[in-house]
Amino acid sequence: MSATTIPTTPYLTLASDIVARALKAGADDAEVTIHEGDEFSTTVRMGQVETLKESGSRGMGLRVLVASNNGYRVASTSTSDFTPEGIAHLVNGAIALARVTSEDPFAGLADASEFGQLEGDLQLFHEDVYSLPSAERIEYARRAEVAALAADTRITNSDGGSFDAATGRKVFANSRGFAGEYRASSCSISVSPIALGQNGEMQRDYWYTYARALKNLDTPESVGLEAARRTLRRLDARRVKTQQVPLVFSPEVARSLIGSIFNAASGDSIYRGASFFTGKLGQQVAAPSVTVVDDGTLIGGLGTSPFDGEGLPSRRTVIVENGVLVNYVLNTYTARKLGMKSTGNASRGLAGNPGIGPNNLFLVAGWQSPEDILRAVPSGLYVTSLMGQGVNMVTGDYSRGASGLWIESGELTWPVQEITVAGNLRDIFQNITAIANDLVFRGSVASPTLRIDGMTIAGE
């Protein structure tokens, strides 16, 4: 039993109790999720506290499975009402709803042998996040904004500096004997300065630091300075002509491409043929230098947990290895659909069936420095931000708004805005022609700098 799990907490007892009541009411299997969380957030704008928010809430969800001739009928309920009356509604409501749904031969909990949780202290919860007095939390936000505002006279306004902290507890129990609970904390400092260009056009960018423990945050001053640097470099941006040139994705935007690799490999899209990775297991789907890993076991990671949304232990899954698609990412349902085993990627909210989500997802770093990668580009675009949701996971078509810096003779020059970058993800993954050595986790998804060839810029 891991150190983060205390078998006798009131919530764990409550969850197991509700599972038992659901079975008594007619369910053949049941799962109970309880979430409890506290949040604190403050924004300081132009040196003054603008918002201060502090509160907590909790909720619970029940999913019942009723056996029929050919599989199970499944239904779920959720509530914020923890009174006996609220719990009675939760249980009775779920059983009643299961009469409406159809029997599904692939529905059902995982095999008992699959349940479990990671041992040892995963360092997900840190007391320092919770215990810091409000005045000091406000001070973090204020210091970050002050540093950004003081960085340059062209920084004339601000969307504020923020400090956010959250602590939460997740409890999960099912009728096949799994019961687990863990606490997690997170905190962040962010700042979003606004600068004024020569023609009067404003530009904004931001920077942040995000960690499970206060002690692991970057200093507010370094966040403010980096936010200022990123904002200033956008000033007096131009458009460029429609053309095909090499693109260099900065780590912040390359992250979204790694997210697309995960989504393309997600079992839910695979079994229904809704992903361009369908049927591609064992095939080359990316450049040979590309290896993508989802690892739920990293100590203190922002995507780490002792068990997934179905009570399976978190693990490390290689999705793409040297460009070859070696694993789909699966929960129990999609694994059954595909005749495979779950990869422990079940995600879940309070209501509904489990989904699929990443843990700590990253593209393995290469050997070149980001500067080396830029230096090899005679003429191209360094992409620093992307806009919109123009990614079609069925066809792979990719078209998004972009801004960044023009690369000329291997050097970053003037800023570019109001253009799009487009291609098809199948080609984009194959055309990752350079991978930098600058992999840093600033959240649960991380990528180094990437060079991508063959995409189209649409502009003037």
Partner 1 sequence: MTNSPASTQQHKQYFFAKFGITERLLERCLGEALSAGGDYADLYFESIASTSIGIDESIVKSASQGVSAGCGIRVLSGERTGYAYTDDLSAERLLHAARTAALIASGPAKQPVAGFTETKTPSLYPAPAIDLDTDLSAKLDLIQRADRTARAYDPRITQVRAGYSDELRRILIAASDGTFASDTQPLARLSIFVLAKDGDRTARGTSGGGGRVEIDFFQTEKSPEHFAEEAARQAILQLSAVAAPAGEMEVVLGPGWPGVLLHEAVGHGLEADFNRRKTSAFTGLIGRQVASSKVTVVDNGVMPGRRGSLNVDDEGSATQETVLIENGILKTYLSDKLSSRLMNMPHTGNGRRESYQQIPMPRMTNTYMLSGDDAPEDILRSVRRGLYAVNFGGGSVDIVSGKFVFSASEAYLIEDGKITAPVRDATLIGNGPEALKYVSMVGNDLQLDEGIGTCGKDGQSVPVGVGMPTVKLDKMTVGGTSR
Smallest separation, CB 43 to partner 1 (Å): 9
Smallest separation, CB 42 to partner 1 (Å): 10
Would you call 217 helix, strand, or coil by DSSP?
A: coil
Smallest separation, CB 277 to partner 1 (Å): 12
Q: Between residue 242 and residue 261, which ones bind partner 1 under the rule CB under 8 A?
A: 242
Q: Give the span between the Cα atoms of 197 and 417, in whole angstroms.
A: 14
Is residue 24 at the binding interface for partner 1, with CB under 8 A as the rule?
no
In sequence order, what are the residues at sequence separation of 6 or more whose Cβ sits closer than 8 angstroms to the Cβ of residue 230?
A: 205, 206, 207, 384
DSSP 286-306: S-TT--EEEETT-TT-TT--S
Q: For partner 1, which is the closer residue by CB, 5 or 417? A: 417
Smallest separation, CB 359 to partner 1 (Å): 22
* Among the listed residues 6, 24, 51, 150, the single contact to partner 1 using CB under 8 A: 51
Contacting range for partner 1; rule: CB under 8 A; set: 111-119, 167-175, 214-222, 420-428: 420-428
Q: Give the span between the Cα atoms of 430 and 330, in whole angstroms.
A: 24
Q: For partner 1, which is the closer residue by CB, 81 or 408? A: 81
On the CB side of 100, CA atoms within 13 Å amount to: 7
Would you call 413 helix, strand, or coil by DSSP?
A: strand
Smallest separation, CB 204 to partner 1 (Å): 4
Smallest separation, CB 273 to partner 1 (Å): 6
Q: Between residue 52 and residue 71, which ones bind partner 1 under the rule CB under 8 A?
A: 52-55, 57-59, 61
Would you tell me how many other CB atoms lie within 10 Å of the CB of residue 362?
Answer: 23
Q: Give the span between the Cα atoms of 329 and 132, in whole angstroms.
A: 38
Is residue 399 at the binding interface for partner 1, with CB under 8 A as the rule?
yes
Q: For partner 1, which is the closer residue by CB, 103 or 139? A: 103
Evaluate whether 330 touches 341 at the Cβ level (below 8 Å).
yes
Element (H, E) at 117: none
Q: Give the span between the Cα atoms of 288 and 320, in whole angstroms.
A: 10
Q: Between residue 350 and residue 369, which ones bind partner 1 under the rule CB under 8 A?
A: 350-353
Would you tell me how many other CB atoms lie within 10 Å of the CB of residue 250?
Answer: 21
Gyration radius (Cα) of the chain, Å? 24
Evaluate whether 117 touches 313 at the Cβ level (below 8 Å).
yes
Q: How many residues bind partner 1 (CB under 8 A)?
A: 76
Give me 136's structure tokens: 């000091």
* Among the listed residues 26, 390, 410, 443, the single contact to partner 1 using CB under 8 A: 390
Q: For partner 1, which is the closer residue by CB, 3 or 46? A: 46
Phi (first) and psi of residue 20, to 5 degrees: -65, -40
* Among the listed residues 7, 80, 127, 379, the single contact to partner 1 using CB under 8 A: 80
Element (H, E) at 227: helix 220-232
* Among the listed residues 421, 445, 450, 452, the single contact to partner 1 using CB under 8 A: 421
Smallest separation, CB 62 to partner 1 (Å): 10
Q: Between residue 150 and residue 169, which ones bind partner 1 under the rule CB under 8 A?
A: 157, 159
The two counts, helices (H) then strands (E), for the chain are 10, 22
* Among the listed residues 25, 96, 364, 376, the single contact to partner 1 using CB under 8 A: 96
Evaluate whether 211 touches 217 at the Cβ level (below 8 Å).
yes
Q: For partner 1, which is the closer residue by CB, 395 or 413? A: 395
Smallest separation, CB 203 to partner 1 (Å): 6
Is residue 79 at the binding interface for partner 1, with CB under 8 A as the rule?
yes
Smallest separation, CB 194 to partner 1 (Å): 6
Q: For partner 1, which is the closer residue by CB, 112 or 202? A: 202
Smallest separation, CB 110 to partner 1 (Å): 17
Residue 25, exposed/middle/buried by CB under 10 A (0-12, 13-18, 19+)?
middle
Q: Between residue 168 and residue 207, which ones bind partner 1 under the rule CB under 8 A?
A: 194, 201-204
Q: For partner 1, which is the closer residue by CB, 122 or 457? A: 457
